[in-house]
């Protein structure tokens, strides 16, 4: 594959722009400067540098991002900056065309923090976001008032939201403290966690998504940063199974 085509596929601009980067001596492959835009390389497994920054060739992009508060999951945000400004330019433009760049898999509210997946693989995005596949997502919910077993029972049994007569239910709920609940959902309606908690007579004060399927947001990705997903992580996400209902009541309470 021609080097200019490799750079083009990874989002470094038009083929003409990519050829210019190469001819100006701004691209290295294997530690060597390459100035022939038509030089051929096997792209798979290739790591190249553009202006001193190393890039691995990725046929498709699969990323995890730790979303901080105060960002919108939109290409055209309103009041707050876009999460896409947290990504380097090539990730926002790779592929070209009207649907260029990676897209977020679902959205988090501007005040919600935590794990976001992004990709330019349409099938993967659909698999992760479609309610038909029931990919579990775990949230750390901090409530205004102490939770009780009755409220959690209602979340597990199902509550009716104002936009649908069909009850929505949590797949799992586990107490961390009297105001901290780990809540697992397998669908993603608008403001779902906040509305479900409000429906049982409480209020969400802070919300953080800590897990999607088998993928857990760890300390290796601090707020505002991102990393590539490994092939094993992508495979595990693509085969994620729904969780079995689980519940743990706080000390001194019972589920009865």
Assess whether 109 carries a catalytic annotation.
Answer: yes
Label residue 201 exposed, middle or buried (CB < 10 Å: 0-12, 13-18, 19+): exposed
Inter-residue contact 48 to 38 (CB < 8 Å): no
Q: Given 109, 121, 148, 220, which residue is catalytic?
A: 109
21, 9 Cβ separation under 8 angstroms: no
For residues 175 and 43, give the distance between their C-alpha atoms in angstroms, rounded to a whole number: 48
DSSP strand pairing (53-56 vs 47-50): antiparallel
Beta bridge partners of 185: 137
Distance of alpha carbon 219 from the chain centroid? 15
- Residue 86 backbone phi and psi in degrees, to 5: -85, -10
Distance CA 73, CA 103 (A): 9
**Which active-site residues does the annotation give?**
109
């Amino acid at each position: 594959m021609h080097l200019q085509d490799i750079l083009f596929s990874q989002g470094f601009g038009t083929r003409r722009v990519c050829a210019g980067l190469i001819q100006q001596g701004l691209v290295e492959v294997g530690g060597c400067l390459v100035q022939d835009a038509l030089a051929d390389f096997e792209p798979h497994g290739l790591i190249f540098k553009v202006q001193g920054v190393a890039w691995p060739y990725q046929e498709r992009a699969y990323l995890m991002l730790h979303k901080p508060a105060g960002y919108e999951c939109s290409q055209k945000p309103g009041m707050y900056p876009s999460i896409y400004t947290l990504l380097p330019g090539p990730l926002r433009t790779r592929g070209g065309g009207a649907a260029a760049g990676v897209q977020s898999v679902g959205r988090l509210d501007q005040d919600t923090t935590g794990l976001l997946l992004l990709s330019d693989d349409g099938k993967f995005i659909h698999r992760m976001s479609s309610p038909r596949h029931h990919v579990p997502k775990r949230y750390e919910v901090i409530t205004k008032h102490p939770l009780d077993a009755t409220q959690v029972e209602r979340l597990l049994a199902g509550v009716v939201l104002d936009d649908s007569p069909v009850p929505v239910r949590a797949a799992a709920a586990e107490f961390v403290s009297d105001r901290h609940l780990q809540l697992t959902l397998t669908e993603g309606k608008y403001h779902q966690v906040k509305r479900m908690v409000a429906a049982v007579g409480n209020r969400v004060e802070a919300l953080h998504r800590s897990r999607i399927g088998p993928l857990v947001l760890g300390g290796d990705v601090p707020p505002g940063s991102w990393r590539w997903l490994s092939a094993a992580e992508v495979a595990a996400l693509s085969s994620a199974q729904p969780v079995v209902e689980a519940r743990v009541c706080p000390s001194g309470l019972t589920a009865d």
